Copies of this chain bind each other. A is one copy, B any other.
Amino acid sequence: MTRTEEQNELEPRARFVRAARGEPVDRPPVWLMRQAGRYLPEYRAIREKSSFLAMCDSPDLAAEISLQPFRRFGMDGVVVFSDILLPLRGGGLELEFAPGPVIANPLRGPADLDRLAVDVAAAIAPTCEALRRLRRELGPRAALIGFAGAPWTLAAYATESRLSRDVEVLSALAWRDPDTVQKILERTSQICAEALRLQIEAGADCVQIFDTWAGVLDRTRFEQLAGRALRRVLSLLGPERPPVIVFARGAAHLLDGLADLGADVVSLDWRSDLGEAAARVGQRVSLQGNLDPTALLGPLAGIARGVREIVRAGRKARGHIVNLGHGVLPSTPVEAVATFVSTAQEGGG
């Protein structure tokens, strides 16, 4: 399979899944992390009347919010509106959004492990219902993307009331009491895998695992902690699954480890060089990313240039999904997102 061979125009859903698997496509698909969000006036109109959790817990609102950016910009992927911490609800953790996540009673040690005895299906039932509706609504016009927090990242939130910059509580616990951390990770691996399995069952064409906080680990500890747990998630999902994307923030030093997990796509933070990463991972995985989200706050011409550079660099990868290197910032102008998507859909010019 070569990426230069002629391709008839694909439908977006097929384009997305094929790029994730490293199969030939007509042009790279495009979406943006946190594309359904505060930068959109129609999102803010809903947010004024509802709490964040109420929006997640209403299949009507969650489906509507997920579709808002798609109606405007026609991305190739539609990500369900939800939150990585929802599956942690319903056990013994007192979780609030204030507006960032706050856990009143984080896990301190082995005696607290039963606070992770959660019913994932109940906790994300509205998300799954939104996915079912979105799947019917979208048909082949877009790939439907589900997501979950990675085991290490879920564990980071579960062990600290408000997360410190470098996840110090969980990191220290992993030095002090590695057995307890392995037990926490075993449980959060099950939660992550179950959340993904349910979303796949509900119609997700692709799922992304957010290991936002894996980047605080050096390579050795990544293998022992976050990486081992991600492997367990992939093994729990089994071989008959749609493509899996793994994202980690500030993780240029972990590229090899991420490429070797058995996932289909590694989503690069904006600080990684996409061309170099493509050369390094070779045929192991496709790549996603990775324009700096703050570039969307600059001139439109600069955004178009940035997207074209990324599309060009992405040709060196076995497959490429155009995205930002992190989520859309709330202060992003709507026209910036329009330029990002349209430039990518012109194939990078």
A315-337 contact mask (Cβ, 8 Å, vs B): 1 or 0: 00000000000100101000000
In the complex, residue of chain B having the shortest beta-carbon distance to the beta carbon of A165? B165
B176 in contact with A299 (CB, 8 Å): yes
The tally of residues in A whose CB lies under 8 Å from a CB in B reads 32
Q: Is A297 an interface residue (CB 8 A)?
A: yes
CA distance A178 to B294 in the complex (A): 13
A residues bordering B, Cβ < 8 Å? 165-166, 168, 171-172, 174-176, 215-219, 221, 250, 252-253, 270-273, 292-295, 297-299, 302, 326, 329, 331
- Across the interface, A329 reaches (CB within 8 A) one of B168, B250, B271, B272, namely B168
A217 in contact with B271 (CB, 8 Å): yes
A253: chain B residues at CB < 8 Å are 252-253, 271-273
A219: chain B residues at CB < 8 Å are 273
Q: State how many copies of this chain the complex holds.
A: 2
B165 in contact with A297 (CB, 8 Å): no
16 contacts between A and B (CB under 8 A): A166-B293, A166-B294, A168-B294, A171-B292, A172-B297, A175-B294, A175-B297, A176-B297, A215-B250, A215-B271, A217-B271, A218-B271, A218-B273, A218-B292, A221-B292, A252-B252
A326: chain B residues at CB < 8 Å are 166
In the complex, which of the residues A165, A172, A270 has the most CB atoms of chain B within 10 Å of its own CB atom? A172
In the complex, which of the residues A217, A219, A271, A331 has the most CB atoms of chain B within 10 Å of its own CB atom? A271
A292: chain B residues at CB < 8 Å are 171, 218, 221
A165: chain B residues at CB < 8 Å are 165
Known contacts A166-B326, A294-B166; A216 and B271 CB within 8 A of each other? yes
